[in-house]
Amino acid sequence: MTRERLPDRRPSVTIKLVYEHCAYSTTLGIDLRNNRVAEVFTHGAKFGSGMDRILDDACVALSLLLQHGVEPAALASSIGRLGDGKSPASIIGALADLIAQEVVR
């Protein structure tokens, strides 16, 4: 798959994501050519902390996967789950679920 470069200007939506009693501000960049989420940015961990760095890297990885054509639903279904089979096992899974659930208007 080839990465599809995003337009320099694109709409976005910012959503509050709560995972394990922590609130995160998640911005989803929309690619109107494909009418779907194509990038993700998340903030909410203490600046400079290990979690902040993990979120930065996870968002880059998720964004690149989306830009290479991975379907959001396929991405979410590939992420680890807790014993109930539904709940994401990590914040990365919660982000993937959010991306898959977001309906582009």
Domain positions in the chain are 12-103
Answer yes or no: is pLDDT of 83 > 70.
yes
Burial class (CB in 10 A: 0-12, 13-18, 19+), 95: buried
Answer yes or no: is pLDDT of 104 > 90.
no
Answer yes or no: is pLDDT of 33 > 80.
yes
Q: What is the pLDDT of residue 82?
A: 94
Q: What is the pLDDT of residue 103?
A: 58
Q: What is the pLDDT of residue 55?
A: 95
Answer yes or no: is pLDDT of 28 > 90.
yes
Q: In what order do the strands lie in the sheet with 22-31?
A: 12-19, 22-31, 36-43
Answer yes or no: is pLDDT of 105 > 80.
no
